[in-house]
Amino acid sequence: MVQQAKEKAKYKVIGTRPIRHDGVDKVTGRAQYGADIRPTGLLYAKMLRSPHAHARIKKIDVSRALAHPGVRAVVTSADLAEQPPRIADLGEGSFTNMGFLCMNVLARGKVLFKGHAVAAVAAINAHVAEEAVGLIDVEYEVLPVVLDGLEAMKPDAPLLHERLASLSNPNVRPGGLMDESDKRKGSNVANHFVFEIGDIAKGFAQASIVVERWYKVSAAHQGYIEPLSATAKWNPDSSLTIWCSSQGHFTIREQTAKLLGLPVSKVKVVPMEIGGGFGAKTQVFLEPVVALLSKKSGHPVKMTINRTEVFEAIGPTSGGYVRAKMGVTTEGRIIAADATLVYEAGAFPGSPVSGGAQCLLGPYDIPNARVEGYDVVVNKPKVTAYRAPGAPSGAFAAESLIDEIAQQLKMDPIDFRLMNSAKEGTRRVSGPVFGSVGFVEVLKAAKAHPHWKAPLTGKNRGRGVAAGFWHNGAGPASATVSVNADGTVNLVEGSPDIGGSRATAAMQVAEVLGLRAEDVRPQVADTESIGFTSTTGGSGATFKTGWASHDAAQEVKQQMLARAATIWNVKPDDLKYEGGVISHKSDPALRMPFRDLAARLNDTGGPIAGRGAVNPRGVGAALSVNIADVEVDPDTGKTTVLRYTAIQDVGTAIHPSYVEGQMQGGAVQGIGWALTEEFYFSDKGQMMNSSFLDYRMPTALDIPMIDTVVVEVPNPGHPFGVRGVGEVCIVPPLAAIGNAIHRATGVRMHTLPMSPNNLQRAIAKKGDDVHWTVPTSNGASQSMKAAVDAEGIERHE
């Protein structure tokens, strides 16, 4: 169902559902993904990974591996220059501490999680490489591990990084080390910050109901279908070509170049098709390693990792703890909120706790609020971004709490949210003020939906509702459009197509030029063939690359008008461009379709191409509401999702099918996170379920059809009203399911996942209440001056 804005009628292409341009290659299996590249002379590489979650590397002896027949090169961190612990800006949203990145790529001195890369071998085939990996002798001194965020904050916890500094800046995720002169003891707290508006003491004093709850949230893996693969060819002139699937080949280029000490112009990254990323494929893991192996061996080298390696070494999102407290008036107005989030970053700083802190109260207008976040390192793989990073866990807490309060007040949970809804002009606790947003529209659409009104009968069944907010992002983007003689155009852009952005950019070009979507031939070009384009992330590709494509098409349009004016010997201003036809405003004889003029370009002055290069502001925030019906088997604790509806403000839906697909995909991932997905570690930090068999993502048999309602409140910050749609859809499901379970069973779950085992125990014990000590603020005063000031980075939304 699409609830269209009125002005949508003016569009011819936008809002239609053409077949995607890359569809044929993908459904026929011809699309080339990361592992599909095979340069002549290719060698195959395997990684040696740490068997321990925390250990000092005393000695690495590669001599037996090097002597193994068929082995061509071995690398360790000794081959990779040490990087200072400085923060580098690698493109919007991609601030990276090069020192930590370097140590994550190949362990140096210590291994910090099970699966941490220690060394790599290139050989004539993957089997020989695997055998040779087993011949590398590493002497470890095993150290005590810390796996839990709260445990890691204790003063006597084992330290991962002895010199780790505690920052206090929500805008800097990558962390840093203390100054040489700073003699204080390090800690595992990489960052501790507070957002605050109003006066919470005053707010809580005015509240008639105050409820405070504790939640334990769990890590979830992105579960993309394509394990990582990278191929490198080190050329004799010290230039480097890399083929890989990533969400941003430009950031892969910048990171690889920095780690290898090369200028970016010496590194070319060719984007392969990507089999899912969800935020995880935005940093280098394998690329510098295969580059070094190629340099040493003189051959191109490919490394493709398996699913176990993906689970053990390529991070999920954070697990952790959230405390949430709200004060509400008898009428149902939230007048105060206070929350603490402790997110586990894995082995290196950089959990999405800031995202969680910025988003958990996002949907609401709360005058007095305080949100405190802790980024804590533990002996687990460094977390990577995952779809609305940090937001789903925070929303699980806030939206469960709101549901509980609405029940106490005997208010309809949608009415309760409507009463407190953020609107244009509402200031968020993190500072920014909302522009045009459609939360009220989304809530009204939810309330009017047949699902909300349908009676739900039967034992052990319940209906839950929850909301979600995500601020979205953008970044620089480039595009060129060139005209073909047959009346089509080529669109060259730089956003790896992870969710249909090639089609949506092409449709924006077609809309501008009055062409059909299929008359635009889009391609995602390598780093030497298109201008800088920031990573596909923050639900930003259709926004920013769509905008660059729009601008490039506008330029083509102006040039076409000028060319027609030259041919007809009239002024360009006397011409108009409508529906793909250029015509004279007053002389009906002067009329030429785009296609006819396209055929004459070379004879009338030469080819026409337009370019777009943007760094847009004005991303629109995204808000979503989900309704879930569940049935719980009280004997086994198993939850069956009976019916599910996702309602979301999407700005303008360029291609509604892909918008609906994003909403459905986000809901499915959220349901899996809520119910069955779980990282199971031994007390030594060994992941025991590193396969899709035991890391239980839902299958098609576990999920009902996800109904979608596309609510269109155009974003005034974009030429076509686009706002990002890909991430907010994963924010509401965790609490929507939990709230439904509560209504089905009477048990309120505060622990994720709400797996059969956990839910059955909670039903038997009539609750699962989680309590933990709120961390104290010691250590927060340690500022991370050196690293932050070094490059003066500050991020604004």
Partner 1 sequence: MQAFEYVSAKSVGEAVGVLSQHGEGARLMAGGTDVLVQLRAGRRPQVKVLVDVKGIGELNELSYNDRQGLIIGAAVPCYRIYEDPTVIKRYPGIVDSASIIGSVQIQGRASLGGNICNATPSADGIPPLIALGAVCIIAGPNNSRRELPLEQLFAGPGRTTLQNGEMLISVRVPPPPANSGAQYLRFTPRNEMDIAVAGVGAAITLNAAKNTFVSGRVVLAAVAPIPLLVPAAGQALAGKPVNDETIGKAAEAAVAAAVPITDMRGTIEYRKHLVGVLTRRALQGAIQRAKGV
Instruction: Specify the residue, 9 or 700, whose C-beta has the smaller distance to partner 1.
Output: 700
Which of 510, 667 has the CB closer to partner 1? Answer: 667
Is the CB of residue 624 less than 8 Å from the CB of residue 649? yes
Give the helix ranges, DSSP H, for 488-616: 501-513, 541-568, 594-599
* 404/22 Cα distance (integer angstroms): 46
Q: 490: burial class by Cβ within 10 Å (0-12, 13-18, 19+)?
A: middle
Q: Annotate 335-400 with DSSP letters as a single string.
A: EEEEEEEEEEEESSS--THHHHHHHTTTTB--SEEEEEEEEEE-SSPPP---SSTTHHHHHHHHHH
* Residue placing its CB nearer to partner 1 in the complex, 139 or 635: 635
Mark residue 81 as left, alpha or beta (left: phi above 0; alpha: psi -120 to 50; beta: remaining): beta
Looking at beta carbons only, is 312 or 493 nearer to partner 1? 312
Query: To the nearest whole angstrom, how small is the minimum distance from the Cβ of residue 762 to partner 1?
Result: 12
Q: Which is nearer to partner 1, 93 or 698 (CB)?
A: 698
Query: Minimal distance in Å, beta carbon 639 to partner 1?
Result: 9
Amino acid at the residue 400:
S
Q: Are 644 and 704 in contact (CB under 8 A)?
A: yes
**Per-residue burial over 674-687, b = 16 or more CB atoms within 10 Å of its CB, e = otherwise:** bbbbbbebeeebbb
Least separation in angstroms between residue 130's CB and partner 1 is 7
Nearer to partner 1, 374 or 681 (CB): 681
Binding residues for partner 1, rule: CB under 8 A, are 127, 130, 635-636, 638, 675-676, 678, 680, 688-689, 692-694, 696, 698-699, 701-702, 755-757, 760-761, 764
Closest listed residue to residue 60, CA positions, set 72, 46, 75, 44: 75
Smaller CB separation from partner 1, 526 or 702 = 702
Least distance CB 249 / partner 1 (angstroms): 31
Q: Is 676 helix (H, G, I), strand (E, B) or coil?
A: coil
Query: CA–CA separation, 90 vs 209, rounded Å?
Result: 46
Q: What is the closest distance, in whole angstroms, from the C-beta atom of residue 334 to partner 1 in the complex?
A: 35
Distance in angstroms (rounded) separating the CA atoms of residues 147 and 761: 24
Rounded to a whole number of angstroms, the distance between the first and last alpha carbons of the chain is 31
If the CB atoms of residues 113 and 594 are measured against partner 1, the closer one turns out to be: 113
Q: Between residues 408 and 682, which has the closer beta carbon with respect to partner 1?
A: 682
Q: How far is the CB of 551 from partner 1 (least distance, A)?
A: 47
Q: In this complex, which beta carbon is closest to partner 1, that of residue 600 or of residue 696?
A: 696
Closer to partner 1 by Cβ: residue 589 or 701:
701
What's the closest the beta carbon of residue 770 comes to partner 1, in angstroms? Answer: 17
Rounded to an integer, what is the distance from CA 48 to the centroid of its chain? 28
CB 148 within 8 A of CB 378: yes
Name the nearest CA neighbour of 26 among 225, 242, 228.
225
Identify whether the C-beta of residue 116 lies closer than 8 Å to the C-beta of residue 50.
yes
* Beta carbon of residue 680, minimum distance to partner 1 (angstroms, whole number): 4
Q: Which is nearer to partner 1, 390 or 685 (CB)?
A: 685
Torsion 779-783-788-793 (CA) sign? positive
Structural element, H or E, at residue 705: none
Q: Are 732 and 466 in contact, with CB atoms under 8 Å apart?
A: yes
> 515: exposed, middle or buried (C-beta count within 10 Å: 0-12, 13-18, 19+)?
buried
Question: Judged by CB, which is closer to partner 1: 128, or 388?
Answer: 128
Least distance to partner 1, CB of residue 306, Å: 9
Nearer to partner 1, 130 or 196 (CB): 130
Q: Where are the alpha helices (DSSP H) in 156-280?
A: 200-206, 249-260
DSSP tag of 587? -
Q: Choose between 592 and 675: whose C-beta lies nearer to partner 1.
A: 675
User: What's the closest the beta carbon of residue 514 comes to partner 1, in angstroms?
Assistant: 48
Rounded to whole angstroms, the Cα distance separating 763 from 755 reads 12
For the bound state, the minimum distance from the C-beta of residue 695 to partner 1, rounded and expressed in Å, comes to 9
Give least dist CB 227 to partner 1, A. 14
User: Count of residues for the chain?
Assistant: 797
Pseudo-torsion of CA 374, 380, 382, 387, nearest 10°?
-80
Identity of the residue, 308 or 482, whose beta carbon is nearer to partner 1 in the bound complex? 308
Least distance in angstroms from the C-beta of 640 to partner 1: 9
8 Å CB contact between 325 and 333: no
d(CA 761, CA 653): 43
Give the nearest distance from C-beta 638 to partner 1 in angstroms.
Answer: 7
Task: Give backbone dihedrals phi and psi of 204, rounded to 5 degrees, phi first.
Answer: -65, -35
Shortest distance, CB of residue 761 to partner 1, whole angstroms? 7
233, 39 contact by CB (below 8 A) = yes
Query: Contact at 8 Å (CB) between 50 and 141?
Result: no
Question: What's the min distance (Å) between Cβ of 308 and partner 1?
Answer: 8
